[in-house]
């Protein structure tokens, strides 16, 4: 009886750690450079290097009120260390920040960065921020919560 009880206690101690979630941290999800993705006729963009693709039509409609003429857009996409996707394009007034959902990208924040629309935007990783540079404006540093340095907060 004692042997059976002792065996159960030892077995419980061995299996107990298997019940707790395994967490690997810290983790860095960042992409070293932005991806420049052309929207196809169906509204999709695909980045093979980082294995991500998504339907951009809802984003294009939110920004331009047009989900028909999608092929004229080229999206700029970068991912920060926390795993958020930053997306913008020439002519956009916002940088959209998405988080990964269950088979989706969910909008976390839309950061207004321009009144007239961006001209030649590019996104750079400058930890802990994402840097937005344009042809005419000074650089702006962003995180999930908005503008952190430069530009109008």
Q: Look up the pTM and report it.
A: 0.83
Write the pLDDT tens digit of every residue in 61-83: 999 999 889 999 999 999 999 99
Whole-Å CA distances, 20 to 7, 13, 16, 45:
21, 12, 7, 37
Write the pLDDT tens digit of every residue in 28-40: 999 989 999 999 9
For residue 20, what pLDDT band results from cuts at 50, 70 and 90?
A: confident
Mean local confidence (pLDDT), 122-137: 95
Q: Which residue do the tokens 């926390």 mark? A: 82
115 contacts: CB under 8 Å, gap ≥ 6: 93
Domain limits of the chain? 24-149
Q: Distance (Å, rounded) from C-alpha 111 to C-alpha 95?
A: 5
């Amino acid at each position: 009886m004692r042997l059976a009880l002792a065996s159960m206690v030892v077995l419980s101690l061995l299996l107990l750690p298997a019940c707790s979630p395994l967490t690997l941290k810290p983790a860095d999800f960042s992409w070293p450079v932005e991806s420049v993705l052309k929207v196809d006729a169906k509204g999709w963009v695909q980045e093979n290097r980082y294995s991500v693709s998504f339907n951009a039509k809802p984003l294009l409609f939110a920004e331009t009120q047009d989900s028909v003429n999608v092929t004229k857009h080229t999206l700029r996409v970068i991912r920060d260390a926390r795993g958020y996707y930053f997306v913008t394009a020439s002519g956009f007034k916002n940088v959209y920040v998405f988080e990964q959902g269950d088979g989706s990208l969910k909008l976390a924040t839309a950061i207004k960065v321009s009144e007239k629309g961006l001209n030649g935007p590019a996104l750079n990783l400058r930890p802990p921020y994402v840097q937005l540079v344009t042809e005419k404006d000074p650089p702006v540093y962003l995180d999930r919560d908005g503008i952190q340095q430069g530009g109008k907060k």
